Structure 1
């Protein structure tokens, strides 16, 4: 993997998430017995996430960071094509049920500085591959938040609460839809939960989530830049 080019050997060490994995959050399971008959991890059984089902293409580790962080911070937008292909593979069952793709939004100040929203690029790629329509500006962030990467799960939820809403005039596009929420990395799920709540309040029939990578349970504060 050099200068944005990818080959078969690049993926030999990739830790793809395949079955068995949790139906709700996409985290890998040691074996099917750990998820029980419903294939749901203990964490999601004790505290079910706001969304219905979740999938991730990769574990968020050193390998996947080499694709995701350059996309996110270094203008290597071509990486979105590679990631969206892998997300399509991992989330085929969710894409079959989805009627609308919606990316996690970026605050306008950060979007102005970065010039693109990596989640929107991923959603656009998925829409192109799967033919499921995407509403790239369906959600918006009402204010900037502190970087979430080094906050505890409780601090993240407090920081992000009530900051994401359905954009004015987009409610009719969302009502009655099976929405697939798209993002680059899933950590504690704080941001995804707020997005899900906003979509359901707007009348979405259901909300699932598909991401490029997810951290392991308990690893949220041990990896660089996992979630903004």
Structure 2
């Protein structure tokens, strides 16, 4: 039956729809245009760093980007699957705004792989929440689609409603770093029904994109205030500067933060 379905519906590239050998794969062209984050990357926010792709062991474990040396990150460690550019950017936008819910499983697998060094016993996996009005318009939370795959692949508890937006925030597009952090300040809280299970446990926060880190910071502050032992973060895509190398974030549009 499965073989028959493959004849009728052959596997297609996630990026362009071209024929590929297996489900959830990229064609050679899209593969070349999708920059996976591996090797030398910031241990705090996951942004790629100069220095080659082989320096991924203990020597790279403590490396921080320029931004993380300046900006205090309340979370413990962070990782990213791909760079927010080229095919990586197109896939994020297709999942987020193109109703491509079918991308949740394969892209969530990428996120789960990136998150592997962050996994701890008894860890709770939770997505960055949407405000109820935005969720009503979009019908789904793309971060929750990703976090569901992370929890499944690592055998961890998934808490899709652990956090809630306490107020609607303005779009982050074209805002400065300071404005982004001010916009998200105290915009999230732990859902009261989940507060008891959170006490003393590590949490892995999942989102689709990170630019300034303002959203992750707001969520982390809420979790730590409610009793989480520690917070780590992982995203599908990490935004990088357009100029000045890959050692910090860039301010970009697309309602990301």
Name the counterpart of 2:31.
11
Q: 1:103/1:169 Cα in 2 relative to 1: closer, same or farther (>3 Å)?
A: same
Tell me if structure 1 keeps the 8 A contact 2:42–2:48: yes
| Deviation for aligned residue 1:97 | 5.3
SS in 1 for 2:189: strand
1:48-87 equivalences under 5 Å are 48-87=72-111
Q: Which moved more, 1:45-54 or 1:206-215?
A: 45-54
Structure 1 stretches lacking a partner, 5+ long: none
Instruction: Give the TM-score taking structure 2 as reference length.
Output: 0.81
| Deviation for aligned residue 1:13 | 2.5
Name the counterpart of 1:134.
158
Tell me if structure 2 keeps the 8 A contact 1:84–1:122: yes
Q: What is the root-mean-square deviation of aligned Cα atoms in Å?
A: 2.2
| Deviation for aligned residue 1:87 | 1.1
Tell me if structure 2 keeps the 8 A contact 1:220–1:226: no
Asked if residue 28 in structure 1 is aligned to residue 48 in structure 2, the reply is yes
Q: Distance in 2 between matches of 1:97 and 1:185?
A: 25
Aligned residue pair count: 226
Name the counterpart of 2:21.
none
Name the counterpart of 2:16.
2
1:214 pairs, out of 232, 238, 242, with 238
Name the counterpart of 2:11.
none
Tell me if structure 2 keeps the 8 A contact 1:20–1:30: yes
SS in 2 for 1:199: helix
Report the structure number with the largest CA radius of gyration. Answer: 2
Instruction: Give the TM-score taking structure 1 as reference length.
Output: 0.91
SS in 2 for 1:89: helix
Structure 2 stretches lacking a partner, 5+ long: 1-14, 19-23, 242-247
Name the counterpart of 1:225.
254
Q: Distance in 2 between matches of 1:224 and 1:197?
A: 25
2:137 pairs, out of 83, 94, 113, with 113
CA shift digits 1:9-42 (9 cap, x unpaired): 2323310111111111111110289x98821223
Q: Distance in 2 between matches of 1:125 and 1:36?
A: 27
Name the counterpart of 1:47.
71
Asked if residue 184 in structure 1 is aligned to residue 208 in structure 2, the reply is yes
CA shift digits 1:161-216 (9 cap, x unpaired): 11111112111121111100000000100110000000001111000000001111
